[in-house]
C-alpha cells in the first residue's frame, strides 16, 4: 500500500533510530484539533509516544523560562523568539506551523453576530447581556480592543474572563451570550455559530514548534515538529480553521 508522502518521509527519517521516545510537549489549544488528528499516524510510523499538556502560551513561557524539562513547545512565535534570545529555546529549532485570527461565537440557533465593520462589532457588544473571553493571548487582545473602542468600563459588569475552559463551550452551554477566542479553538466546539472579526480590528496569531534547551528527547521532538509541516498536516490544519505556515 502506498503511504502518504509525509508519513513515508517520517518513516525513512526514523528508520535508523536507536529507540522509541516519549516526547513531552506543551502546546497551545489553538492547534489541538489538527495535532490530535496527526498524532496517531506519527506514533505508528515512529514508535514514539506524545505526552501532551494543553496550556496557554503565557503559562508555557513561564514554565519553559524556569527551565522545565520539556521536549517541544507549540506556542505563539513572539514568545518563542523571546525564549530563544534568553537561551531557554534552542536557536534554529523554530518550525512555523500555523496562523489564526479571532472570532466571535454565539449559541447555535442564535442570530449570527454582526461583524461587518468595527462599528457593527461595537453595537453587537453593547447589545450583549454577557461576554466571555479567555486569559490567553486572544483574551489579552480583546481586553485591549475594548479599551480602544472606549467601551471597556461599560461592558465590565457583563464580562466573564476564564482559564482552562474553551470559550465555545461556555457559549454553547448558554453561560455567555457572546464569546471571543481564536477561530481554530472555536471551530472545534459544537453547538455554536462563529463570525471572524473584520479586517480592520482582526489580529493574527502565528504558532510554531520549538525545542527547549532542557529537552531530554530533542531529536524525536524535531521529528514531530517536521511531521506537522507535511502535506497531510497542512490539510488537517486547514480543516481545523487555521492556515498553515
Q: Which of 167, 182, 201 is the last residue of a domain?
A: 201
Write the burial class of residue 51 (CB in 10 Å: 0-12 exposed, 13-18 middle, 19+ buried). exposed
* Chain segment 42-51, per-residue pLDDT in tens: 999 999 999 9
* Chain segment 76-119, per-residue pLDDT in tens: 999 999 999 999 999 999 999 999 999 999 999 999 999 999 99
Number of domains in the chain: 2
Which H or E run includes 233?
A: helix 231-239
Output phi, psi for 193, to 5 deg.
Answer: -115, 145
Statement to judge: residues 18 and 46 lie in one domain: yes
Statement to judge: residues 209 and 195 lie in one domain: no
Statement to judge: residues 94 and 107 lie in one domain: no
Question: Quick one: which of 185, 60, 187 has its CA closest to 133?
Answer: 185
Q: Are 241 and 109 in contact (CB under 8 A)?
A: no
Parent domain of 174? 102-201
Statement to judge: residues 40 and 79 lie in one domain: yes
Q: Are 33 and 59 in contact (CB under 8 A)?
A: no
pLDDT for res 7: 52
Q: Which residues does the chain have with pLDDT short of 70?
A: 1-18
Q: Which CATH number goes with the domain that contains 88? A: 3.40.190.10
What whole-number distance in Å separates Cα of residue 102 and Cα of residue 92?
29
pLDDT for res 90: 98
Q: Which of 183, 201, 219 is the last residue of a domain?
A: 201
pLDDT for res 1: 37
Statement to judge: residues 18 and 82 lie in one domain: yes
Amino acid at each position: 500500500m502506498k503511504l502518504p508522502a509525509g508519513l513515508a518521509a517520517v518513516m525513512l527519517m526514523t528508520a535508523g533510530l536507536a529507540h522509541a521516545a516519549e516526547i513531552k510537549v506543551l502546546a497551545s489549544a489553538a492547534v489541538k484539533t489538527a495535532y490530535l488528528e496527526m498524532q496517531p499516524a506519527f506514533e505508528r510510523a515512529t514508535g514514539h509516544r506524545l505526552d501532551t499538556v494543553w496550556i496557554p502560551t503565557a503559562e508555557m513561557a513561564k514554565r519553559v523560562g524556569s527551565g522545565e524539562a520539556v521536549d517541544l513547545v507549540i506556542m505563539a512565535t513572539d514568545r518563542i523568539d523571546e525564549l530563544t534570545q534568553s537561551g531557554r529555546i534552542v536557536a534554529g529549532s523554530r518550525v512555523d506551523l500555523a496562523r489564526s485570527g479571532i472570532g466571535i461565537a454565539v449559541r447555535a440557533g442564535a442570530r449570527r453576530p454582526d461583524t461587518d465593520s468595527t462599528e457593527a462589532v461595537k453595537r453587537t457588544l453593547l447589545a450583549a447581556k454577557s461576554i466571555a473571553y479567555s486569559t490567553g493571548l486572544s483574551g489579552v487582545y480583546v481586553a485591549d480592543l475594548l479599551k480602544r473602542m472606549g467601551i471597556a468600563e461599560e461592558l465590565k459588569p457583563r464580562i466573564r474572563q476564564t482559564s482552562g475552559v474553551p470559550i465555545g463551550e461556555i457559549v454553547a452551554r448558554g453561560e455567555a451570550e457572546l464569546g471571543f477566542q481564536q477561530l481554530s479553538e472555536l471551530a472545534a466546539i459544537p453547538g455554536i455559530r462563529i463570525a471572524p472579526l473584520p479586517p480592520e480590528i482582526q489580529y493574527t496569531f502565528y504558532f510554531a514548534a520549538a525545542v527547549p534547551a532542557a529537552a531530554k528527547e530533542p531529536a524525536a521532538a524535531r521529528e514531530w515538529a517536521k511531521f506537522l509541516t507535511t502535506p497531510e498536516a497542512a490539510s488537517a490544519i486547514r480543516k481545523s480553521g487555521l492556515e498553515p505556515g
